[in-house]
Amino acid sequence: MLTATKLAIETTGLVKTFGSTHAVDGLDLAVPLGGVYGVLGPNGAGKTTAIRMLATLLPLDGGTATVLGHDVASEPDAVRSKVSLTGQFASLDEDLTGTENLLLLGRLYGYSRAAARTRSEQLLSAFGLEEAGNRQVKNYSGGMRRRLDIAASIIVTPEMIFLDEPTTGLDPRSRNQVWEIVRALVAGGTTVLLTTQYLDEADQLADRVAVIDHGKVIAEGTTGELKASVGSGALHVRVTDVATRPAAAALLREILEVPVVEEADPAALTARIDDPKRVSRALPALDDAGIAVSTFALGQPSLDEVFLSLTGRPTEEHAS
């Protein structure tokens, strides 16, 4: 793709196969320099595999990729010197404390003992880990661990960082802390490539996103554009008794006359909203049918709904 804007990442026809699995299957990405670019897709879509190729940790089986102007296959050292990676691959030593890990990495990056100490203190304080600094990493909570992972990967401010599902499995408070860190990285001039399974996370952070499925880009744009492709909004319902969900889904389909998605949460349903008037009929109808609900709310579509709208099927994780 020819463009006047300088690209941080450009891939054409990127391929990776594991036996008969086409993990990445002709992936084309054009990631602008600066800001956050989201790679959004369900479990197994090929996000981690793509990132590992871009980070030069996995050889390409096909296609080309450049990162900050360097070809990942022919100039891997140049790519590695400019890019930081966190996620499933961060190499923290569980038996060391947070401070010890950061000091060690600082020394590896060539800081003097004093400079490593200063940088480690800065990072622990910026990430709210001052207290935890003297504890062994194996005793950290998930949220603390994730923050330390990111701190460890920005000891030297990188031009580009790959964050592979940095908030998956975190509670809302820890998730917000990670979001703040991502915003701070961007403010410091780092380009962030972020993978996520959550549309709302992409919405919070990403300037643009590529939705991927089976190793291919199936949609690209701003999250606003993706949501617009689904409809104006979504109805989110949680039933009190999970056994009543199938009946609730059937009833909502009948009243709303739109697809109703059964979410991974066994009590949750979402439906695209085209006609708000029909929504007002749904709650009394559920009540009449003896189905108790704990949530009945209008909001933004989820990744599942965007997916259903793009592919005509739910994210596989949730297909039953």
Ligand X SMILES: Nc1ncnc2c1ncn2[C@@H]1O[C@H](COP(=O)(O)OP(=O)(O)O)[C@@H](O)[C@H]1O
**Nearest-approach distance from CB 306 to ligand X, in angstroms:** 16
Residue 46 site contact among ligand X, Mg ion, none (CB < 5 to 8 Å, cut-off depends on kind): ligand X
From the list 42-50, 69-77, 89-97, 298-306, the region that binds ligand X by CB under 6 A is 42-50
**Nearest-approach distance from CB 86 to ligand X, in angstroms:** 14
Q: In this complex, which beta carbon is closest to ligand X, that of residue 46 or of residue 233?
A: 46
Residue 18 site contact among Mg ion, ligand X, none (CB < 5 to 8 Å, cut-off depends on kind): ligand X
**Nearest-approach distance from CB 48 to ligand X, in angstroms:** 3
CB 112 within 8 A of CB 91: no
**Nearest-approach distance from CB 170 to ligand X, in angstroms:** 17
Q: In this complex, which beta carbon is closest to Mg ion, that of residue 48 or of residue 177?
A: 48
Residue 44 site contact among Mg ion, ligand X, none (CB < 5 to 8 Å, cut-off depends on kind): ligand X
- Give the torsion sign (CA, 177, 181, 187, 193): negative
CA dist 59 to 24, 54, 164, 312, Å? 12, 9, 18, 33
The reply on whether position 21 binds ligand X by CB under 6 A is yes
Residue 23 site contact among ligand X, Mg ion, none (CB < 5 to 8 Å, cut-off depends on kind): ligand X
Of 15, 32, 34, 43, the residue at the interface with ligand X (CB under 6 A) is 43
Strands 191-196 and 160-164: parallel
Report the distance separating Cα 230 and Cα 306, nearest Å. Answer: 6
The reply on whether position 64 binds ligand X by CB under 6 A is no
Residues near Mg ion, by CB under 5 A: 47-48
Q: In this complex, which beta carbon is closest to ligand X, that of residue 158 or of residue 215?
A: 215
Site string for ligand X, 172-201 (x = CB under 6 A): ------------------------------
The reply on whether position 62 binds ligand X by CB under 6 A is no
The reply on whether position 45 binds ligand X by CB under 6 A is yes
Strand order in the sheet with 191-196: 83-86, 160-164, 191-196, 36-40, 208-213, 216-221
Of 7, 14, 49, 145, the residue at the interface with ligand X (CB under 6 A) is 49
